[in-house]
Each structure stands twice: as C-alpha cells, then as structure tokens.
Structure 1
Amino acid sequence: MTDVVSLGSANVDRIRYLPTDRIRDLESRYDWFPAAGETVRIDESPSLLSLEAERYENVVGGKGANQAVAAARAGAETAFLGCVGSDEAEFGVLETLADRGVDVDHVRVAADLETGKAYVFVDDAGESWIAIVGGANDAVDGAYVDRHYDRIRTADALLLQNEIPVATMERLLERLENETARPAVIFNPAPSDGAGPLCSRSTVDIVVVNETEHAALEAHLASFDGTVVRTQGADDVVATGGVDHRVTPPSVESVDTTGAGDAFCGYLAALSGEGVGLERALETATVAGSLATETEGVQNGIPDLEAVERLFESEIGHD
C-alpha cells in the first residue's frame, strides 16, 4: 500500500450555486473575482458572506484535505498535515477527514485563528470559480514542518498545493534535496500566484496544472526538469517532460467541476507508488477526475477505486 502525505490546506467551503449570468455580473463588479476554473486569494469580504443564492451549503474542503481524501479513496495509507482553527469542530473538519480514511493525528489546531475558507461559485453548467481566505492555513510554518519532517521524508509520495505559505514549502523542498531517499513530490500550483519558484526545485517531480495555471506559469514550467501534467477539462490530459503521454477523459454527465483536479492529484499520488507506471497512473487519475464532476461538492464526489477501475476498463482499458 502506498504511503501518501498531503501537506496543505483545510477549508470550510462555502458553496454557492448561481446562474451563469449572475456569476458574470460578479466578475464584472469585483476586480479580484476569479476566472472560470481559477483559484485566487482574497481578504475576508462581507459582501460574499451576505451573497444570496438559491442553493448553498458549507462543507469541508481545502486542496490539501481534498487531495488527501482522494488518495485514501484510491487505496493509499494517507496522512494530512496542516492547520485548522478553533472553530473546526463546529464544521466537523477533522472528524470528517478521519471518517473519510485520512490520518489527522498531527494536524495543528490554532486556538487564536479561524479555519480557512473557500468561496466556491458553481454555475448552471457545473463550472467553478474559487476565492480563498487563508485563515489557519497561513500558520503552517517551517517549525511545524520540521516537527513532522520524518513523517514526510519517509512517505512514498508527497502532495503539495499552493494554499499554505510558499516559504514553508521552499524550506521543506530544500531540506529534501539532501536526502538519499525521499518521497515523489507532486505539486499542484493552485492558486498560481507566487508558485513559480517552486516549479524550479529539483525535488519536485511532477507539476499538475489546469489551463489557467499553465498559462500563468508557462515561463517557469519551460525550465522545469520533471513531468508537467496539464489537465484541460473535458479535453485531453497531456503529460510532457519525464513522460510524454496523452489521455482522453471518459464521457460523463458533469454537474460540478470543483473537485476534478483534487481527485486527479490524489489518485496520481496513490497510484504512482504502486508500480503500475506513470502512464497507467495518469490514465486512472484522469478517470477519477472525470467521475468527480458527476457529483456536486468536492470530497463527497471523489469516487472510490472500484468505481474508477470499472469506468477505466469500459472507457480506456488495456489489451
């Protein structure tokens, strides 16, 4: 069984389901508003707290936590490392992750902070726009990583995103450079702002980006020595660099794309240590990402391995 660590964010996702024209109005009204498929950082916004929507819900999210759940659903022994606020029990953040098969024993609870938030806007076609408020995620510092360094160093795969401080990840990656044995590092630079320097670290093996992130980081990715994996919604997933491979996603009835990338990354990390080869891991992760769009929400929509393998065999398969 693959041992995966996801070092990253845990959020309370405040999901608002809105008509497409309403979201377009928000795009024109606020200069900070994300583009479709994009994640951006913002300060707390009272206007978002009072935003009316026909349907809304609050659920456990955060890219670090989501990808940990995906790795666990893929069959990996998975630990999440990060920081939540004193309000986490109100939303059941740690309890939910534990119920979904993730080890949360080493998550820090910061008594003086609130758990991070993500404002997720989903339109009629299932496309998503995401704005995050750091909260306790910003307290994931070098001292915390140092305390749990051995747990990270001995894992088979390490998942990183960009919803915790870049300096913390840089410190960790620099330390891993001195190890003769280390985990395979999969970096998902979302949001892309400030993520460029991490793409040049020799200890990053795979960078997973969507179309928006790829455009923002193209100059940095051009000099990256590892494998770049570009997801493109319903279009082909394209891997270049260490492995050159293209995967056509299966046809699905998409209702919410929010969790597709996290499902993809978690599955990729879990399978990369199983000895199946990176090409097969990419194919299976693509199926997982596609299936995740068939259900509203993120963590509850991440499919289990049995469902992924069943669709894989019918849509992609091998001789």
Structure 2
Amino acid sequence: MSRIVSLGSINVDRVENVTAAELDEFEARYDWFPERGETVEVSGVPAAFPEEADTVFHGGKGANQAAAAASAGGDTRMLGKVGTDHREFDVRGRLAEPGVDTTAVETDGSVPTGTAYVFVDDDGENRIVVRPGANDAIDWTYVRDHYGTIVDADCLLIQNEIPTAPVSRLLSELSTEPDRPTVVLDPAPAEGAAALLDDDAVDYVTPNESEYAALESELDAFDGVVVRKRGGDDVIVDAEREFTVSPPTVPVTDTTGAGDVLNGFLGARLAAGDPLPEAVGVATVAASLATRERGARNGVPTLARVREFADANVHKV
C-alpha cells in the first residue's frame, strides 16, 4: 500500500445556502468576497456573516485530501493542528473514519480549530472564506519533528491554508533528498502560493480556474505537471504532452471539496504506480461523484465505487 502524507489545514465548515441577492449583498459590502470556486482567508469573522450555520460539516483542504487519499487506497497520515473545540466537533474521530492516521495531529490550546464559511449558491457552486485558527500554529518546529515521516512517504499533499514559511522551508529541504516523495501542490488560496511554485520539489500543481487566472504567469514558468480543475468542464493536463479528461455528468448538490477529492485520489493513485492519464481519470470521476452530497467529505467515494461507476457508465479509467 502506498504511503501518503497530507500536511495542511483541518477545519470545521459552516455551510450557508445563499440566494443570488444575498451574494450580491456580500460582494457589495466586502470587496474581497470570493468569486465562484475561490477561497480567501480572513483574520476575523465579518459582522454580516450569519451567526448560526445552516449546517456544520468537517473540512479543511489538508484533511479533505487526506480522507480522499485514504478512500483511494493509500496508507494516509495527516499532519496538522486542531484547536480548543476539537472534541466538541469530534474532529479527529471524523477524520479517522475513512482510515486516516491522526496520531500526529496536535492540539493548540489557545485558539479554536480552523473555520471555513462555505457559501453555496443555487447551482451548488461554492465560495469559501477561511479563518485559520489552529492552522496558523503550524510552524517549522512541528514540520521538522515529522520530517522523517514526510521523507519516507511516496506522496506529499500540500495546500496553502497553513503558513507558507514552514512549507517553503520543507520544500527546500526535500529538494536535496535523493529519494523524496512526489509532491502535489494545491495552490489554494492563490494569494501567497506563487512562492511555493518556485521550488524544484513540487512535481504537480492543481489549480482551479480562479487560481489558474491568479497564478498564470507563475504556472507558465512551472517545470512540472499542471492539472487544471475546471468544475464540470474537461480537466486539462499540461505534461510532456497535453491531454484532457472529461468528467462524467452527475446531479450536483454541492461542489465543496470536489477539488480536494481530485487531489487526494490523484496523489494516491500516482503513488500506487498508476500512469498519469489513468490517475487523472480516476481522480476526475471521484471528484464528480463527491458533488452529489452536501459537505466536503460526505460524498467521498471509495476506489471500488469509482471504478464500478466508471465501468457502468463506459467512462474509461
């Protein structure tokens, strides 16, 4: 079984179902309010945000990708931090359900677990506002303490919802290793992610459309493989030869976490030795299936379910 490490964020997701009028109001009030599919980070909770969530789910790009990688057949370990409220929301327990090893997840006793405010529109598309909480407590000391686990992995999944500095230092260290893990970077949020793209240790980068637009010049200069996530449109893979993968058509309830599912499955299947086209194909089907359920992790399919669906729908993976 391939070994996967996800170093990143662990969040509690507060999901709000919003109308077009409500979105217009937020956009008028906050010039930084995210566009469709975009994630932005804030230090505090804006006063106009709803006090009570419609629904509370478990999320965080790092945790979502770990759950997806485990569901895809990888021996997966999560590296990250939770806050003072982690027992209230059973954060570790829910992350362990798909088979993620959470023994290295630490608790910061001074702040709450990271929070994501997920605004879902009538089409199931999302806009995400993140308050870092305990995710901001991840520093080089924590990463260094788990460096051996990271180096021994077959694949490292990283995102941009934790401080950039320790991740950048980790990538610099990994670039000197003769036998390092394959590194898959999700550049979300896009702000500050350009610094991570500069490092030779990054092998794959997986922007969605808003992230691709924000980082286009850096991605043009990137030497590795770019996997462009484009919602219901074809995934574009810029490798030695460019190719596309068409997602299957499914009824969409909530797109939250679909990109994370793609990342987790992609990393796990690459680590298992699948050729790139096959790995992207499996990951694309998995991401599509995940949109049928509400919440970032509720719809994560197993690898067997992905292959069963693909076979039944003549979607070759």
TM range (shorter): over 0.9
- State which of 293, 303, 307 in structure 2 corresponds to 1:305: 303
Q: Which residue of 2 aligns with 1:233?
A: 231
Query: For residue 6 of structure 2, what is the amino acid of its counterpart?
Result: S
Q: Which residue of 2 aligns with 1:73?
A: 71
Q: Which residue of 1 aligns with 2:253?
A: 255
Q: 1:291 offset after TM fit, Å?
A: 0.6
The CA distance in 1 between the partners of 2:9 and 2:52, in whole Å, is: 26
Check the 8 A contact 1:243/1:278 in 2, yes or no: no
Query: For residue 85 of structure 1, what is the amino acid of its counterpart?
Result: G
Deviations 1:138-194 (A, max 9, x none): 111100000000000000000000000110110100000111001000000000000
Deviations 1:31-74 (A, max 9, x none): 12111100000122252553577xx1111110000000000111
Classify the secondary structure of the residue corresponding to 1:202.
coil
Classify the secondary structure of the residue corresponding to 1:16.
strand
The CA distance in 2 between the partners of 1:18 and 1:215, in whole Å, is: 25
Check the 8 A contact 2:45/2:131 in 1, yes or no: no
Equivalent residue runs for 1:20-169 within 5 Å: 20-51=20-51, 56-169=54-167
Q: Which residue of 2 aligns with 1:11?
A: 11
Moved beyond 6 Å, runs of 4+: none
Structure 1: any 5+ residue segments left out of the alignment?
none
Q: 1:243 offset after TM fit, Å?
A: 4.9
The CA distance in 2 between the partners of 1:239 and 1:252, in whole Å, is: 22
Check 1:216–1:182 CA distance in 2 against 1; reply closer, same or farther (3 A cut): same
The CA distance in 1 between the partners of 2:80 and 2:94, in whole Å, is: 15
The number of residue pairs the alignment matches comes to 316
Identity of aligned residues (%): 48
Classify the secondary structure of the residue corresponding to 2:143.
helix
TM-score, length basis structure 1: 0.96
The CA distance in 1 between the partners of 2:305 and 2:48, in whole Å, is: 36
- State which of 219, 222, 241 in structure 2 corresponds to 1:221: 219
Moved more, 206-215 or 10-19: 10-19
Q: Which residue of 2 aligns with 1:317?
A: 316
Classify the secondary structure of the residue corresponding to 1:102.
coil
The CA distance in 2 between the partners of 1:43 and 1:242, in whole Å, is: 40
The CA distance in 1 between the partners of 2:237 and 2:21, in whole Å, is: 34
Structure 2: any 5+ residue segments left out of the alignment?
none
Query: For residue 28 of structure 2, what is the amino acid of its counterpart?
Result: S
Q: Which residue of 2 aligns with 1:172?
A: 170
- State which of 207, 210, 214 in structure 1 corresponds to 2:208: 210
The CA distance in 1 between the partners of 2:198 and 2:241, in whole Å, is: 17
The CA distance in 2 between the partners of 1:246 and 1:315, in whole Å, is: 17
Q: 1:24 offset after TM fit, Å?
A: 2.4
Q: 1:215 offset after TM fit, Å?
A: 0.3
Check the 8 A contact 1:7/1:80 in 2, yes or no: yes
The CA distance in 1 between the partners of 2:305 and 2:193, in whole Å, is: 33
**1:268 aligns to 2:275 (yes or no):** no
Deviations 1:282-306 (A, max 9, x none): 0110001111111111111111112
Check 1:111–1:223 CA distance in 2 against 1; reply closer, same or farther (3 A cut): same
Moved more, 29-38 or 144-153: 29-38
Check 1:65–1:48 CA distance in 2 against 1; reply closer, same or farther (3 A cut): farther
Check the 8 A contact 1:12/1:115 in 2, yes or no: yes
The CA distance in 2 between the partners of 1:76 and 1:101, in whole Å, is: 9
TM-score, length basis structure 2: 0.97
